[in-house]
Structure 1
Amino acid sequence: MQKSVKILHQARQRLTGIVASMALFSLSLLVTACEEEFFSELDWLRPDIIVTAGSSIQAAVDAAAPGDMILIKPGLYREAILVDKPNITLRGSGGVVIENPGGKEDGIRVTANGDGFELYHVTLRDFEENGVIMIRADDYVLSHVTTVNCGEYGLFPIASSHGLIEYCIASGHTDSGIYIGQCEDTEMYHNKTFENVIGLEIENCSKVVASYNQSYNNAAGVLIILLPGLRVTTSSDILFTKNKVFDNNHVNFSEPGGGFENYVPSGSGVLVVGTDNTRLEQNKVMGNNFLGIAVVSTTLLGGLAGMPDEAFETIEPNPDGVRVVNNVVKNNGAAPPTLPIPVPGVDLFWDGSGEDNCWRNNNYGSSYPATLPICPD
């Protein structure tokens, strides 16, 4: 009887071992399959070309096929880059600095052939005109890009739609740190602009969302504007929400003989100039010496620039359908500048132009006029 029990126990042990081995083997197969599936999902992160310090990013772009991802290793790259083919991705891997080698206007220039361009984790500095300029290049991403002292503009997409600009930093530009012009369907999140003439500018654009950005120590924090004389003659459907715009009291250091940037008053927080269906909600706008949030006609800024009335015939210059709701707009207007057109320094300003503009539930200390139209619930 005891011998039979021992034989049965040994058989059970062998069977348990076999089952355990089969289970481990099955688990191993499952893990291997999951690993293969996992890494196959990361194929898009595997670079097609790797650039190391001492070699050329431009040479890699020239060698790349449309759709390639170029990984840039840490280092200082003294060159300007032209992207003239679609779906190229440049991805820095920490500590990538692209510096003007001397006499170059643009750090990275993307042409109309460069749809689908993506740029990640690089710093550009000391170019003469622009850090990154994109002309009619749609479906782009600019992420974790820093531009320092790159002439007029840090990031400069123009006539480039379906874009995302996120976690970028721009400082030291004589026009705008981050600018989008004549663009549609653009999103701007978590960016930081400081020590520019204009921190963040949205010019003649539609269908734009700008959220969680910070703009400080510029001459003007944010400019949302419709200007005459451009191919696109309307601007509407802009959502500006949950941003921080504060202490924009830097001297206007734009280059003499420039454009409207020469006439943007120092001490301005958020200027909404002539755009329609613009909504400003849950922003904090504080400590700007001239204006907190201003809603005005393009002709007002044009008047500061000395432009004649006929200059505005190509656009409808008055803001319509602007909503200013649930913002904190405090401690603005302490030291307004002396202007050819008298404008008081206040938290909330409206020049009376346009139709269907309204304000509601803002935390503010001063306004002009003293009573502003109230938005319906």
Structure 2
Amino acid sequence: MVTEETSLSKFGPPDIVVHEGSSIQAAINNAQNGAVIFIEPGTYKEAIVISKPGIKLVGRSESEVIIEDPGGENNGIRVTDEGDDFTLSNVTIRGFERNGVILIRVTNYLISHVTTIHNGEYGIFPIRSQNGVIEHCVAIGHSDTGIYIGQSDGAEVRFNKVYENVNGIEVENCSDIIVTKNQCYNNTAGILAVLLPGLTVKELKNIQIVHNHVYDNNLPNFADEEGGFEALVPSGSGILFVGGDNSTIEDNNVKGNNFVGIAVVSTLVLGQLGNIPPEAFADIEPLANQVKVTSNVVMKNGEAPPTGLPLPGEDLLWDGLGVDNCWLKNNYNTGFPQTLPTCN
């Protein structure tokens, strides 16, 4: 039998214990590099910044350790580029203005059993970071993305549950990312992998989207219309692969998404949706190339697509652009074009 204490034992004995009514930030300020900090159940109304390496911040109970916006704070937990080898586990973060957890240029991180609720734009948000794991997390109610990996390389997003977000999981301008065994439902789009212009990192490659359950992502898009490309994501999207290369979409169960089950398209499609001229994409190669879509169950999608889209509602969708894209052993009813290129 796994008890609470045995589940915590993997982090080692605590160097500091934070009790309800005291400050998590004060504990971090007093901690040595590499400290293990346990947090007792309670509601902690504070924003937290971590700029020391090796900190392990561990709640004793995910549902009972709550970090809440004290009022007007942008970020629940912000980890800076001095916070490598960071661990966050067993906490709930809610109500912050922009981000639940943001990691900036952090190497080697673990975000495990963390729930983020209604934190403005993003639930969990590593950017320009490397070698991370996000697992067994829940992200609910974010106007951009529940779990977002941006301009990063080497991460695994696994065993998470995301719902009531614009994008459930998003991988943007990244390399070597695995998105696996997640549940994505009641978002505007379940999973989005996208290459966007105007960023420092200019490529999206080696993305594996495998073994996910992506269903009923028909939430109206509630992103800020004056914001970024997230406002252009069509409601009813299962898995959208937009403009990347050398990637695999395999063995996913994708059902009940009103616009599309799995789409492989150029970033230029976003331009069509937002009346953005092609020259706005001149700093990237916008076509999707060498994408393999294999062994997916993709059923009952595309039955009620939004009006005014440049592409039809389908189980499987390709815009016909890019090279060496292929489809094999998928279980589906409708596809566009009707004959999709077969993998060798």
Give the TM-score, by structure 1 length. 0.88
In structure 2, the residue matched to 1:234 is 203
Is 1:296–2:301 an aligned residue pair?
no
Separation (CA, whole Å) in 2 of partners of 1:50 and 1:124: 19
Kindly indicate which of the two structures has a greater share of residues assigned to strand: 2
Report deviation, 1:342. Answer: 2.6
Cross-structure match for 2:235: 266
Amino acid at match of 1:351: D
- Tell me the number of residue pairs that the alignment of Structure 1 and Structure 2 aligns: 335
Matched, 1:357 2:325: yes
CA distance in 2, matches of 1:338, 1:278: 30
What SS does the corresponding residue of 1:139 show, helix, strand or coil?
Answer: strand
**What residue in structure 1 maps to residue 164 of structure 2?**
195
What RMSD in Å do the two structures reach over aligned CA positions?
1.1
Structure having the higher helix fraction is 1
Question: Distance in 1 between the 2:145 and 2:265 partners?
Answer: 20
Structure 1 position 84, deviation (Å): 1.0
| Structure 1 counterpart of 2:46 | 79
Q: Which amino acid aligns with 1:357?
A: N
Question: Once the two structures are superposed, what CA deviation does each residue of 1:208-254 show, in whole Å capped at 9, x if it has no partner?
Answer: 11110010000111100110100000111111110000000001011
Per-residue CA deviation, residues 245-275 of structure 1 (Å, 9 max, x unaligned), is 0000001011120100111000000000001
SS in 2 for 1:162: strand
Greater radius of gyration (CA): 1
Separation in 1 of the partners of 2:226 and 2:90? 34
Matches within 5 A, 1:167-316: 167-316=136-285
CA deviation vs aligned residue, 1:23-48 (integer Å, no higher than 9, x gap):
xxxxxxxxxxxxxxxx9xx6951001
Separation of aligned partners in 2, 1:121 and 1:89: 11
The match for 1:373 is 341
Matched, 1:67 2:34: yes
Question: What does 1:307-326 align with in structure 2 at a 5 Å threshold?
Answer: 307-326=276-295
Per-residue Cα deviation, 1:37-88 (whole angstroms, up to 9, x for no partner): xx9xx69510011000000000001001110010001111111000011111
**Aligned structure 1 segments of 4 or more residues deviating by more than 2 angstroms:** none
Q: Secondary structure in 2 aligned to 1:304?
A: helix
Percent sequence identity over matched residues?
55
Task: Give the aligned residue type for 2:15.
Answer: D
- Residues 100 and 352 of structure 1, relative CA distance in 2, 3 Å threshold: same
For 2:21, which of 46, 54, 60 is the aligned residue?
54
How far apart are the structure 2 equivalents of 1:330 and 1:342? 21
| Separation in 1, partners of 2:270, 2:333 | 24
User: Could you tell me how far apart the structure 1 residues matched to 2:271 and 2:88 are?
Assistant: 36
Specify the SS of the correspondent of 1:249: coil
- The within-5 A match list for 1:13-28 is none
- Which of 105, 109, 112 is residue 143 of structure 1 equivalent to? 112
1:156 and 2:125 correspond? yes
Aligned ranges 1:68-147 → 2 under 5 Å: 68-94=35-61, 95-147=64-116
TM-score (norm 2): 0.96
1:302, CA displacement in angstroms?
Answer: 1.8
Q: Secondary structure at the match of 1:180?
A: strand
Determine the C-alpha separation between the residues in 1 that align with 2:11 and 2:156: 23
- 1:196 is displaced (CA, Å) by 0.3
Does the aligned pair in 1 maintain the 2:273–2:310 contact within 8 Å? no
SS in 2 for 1:262: helix
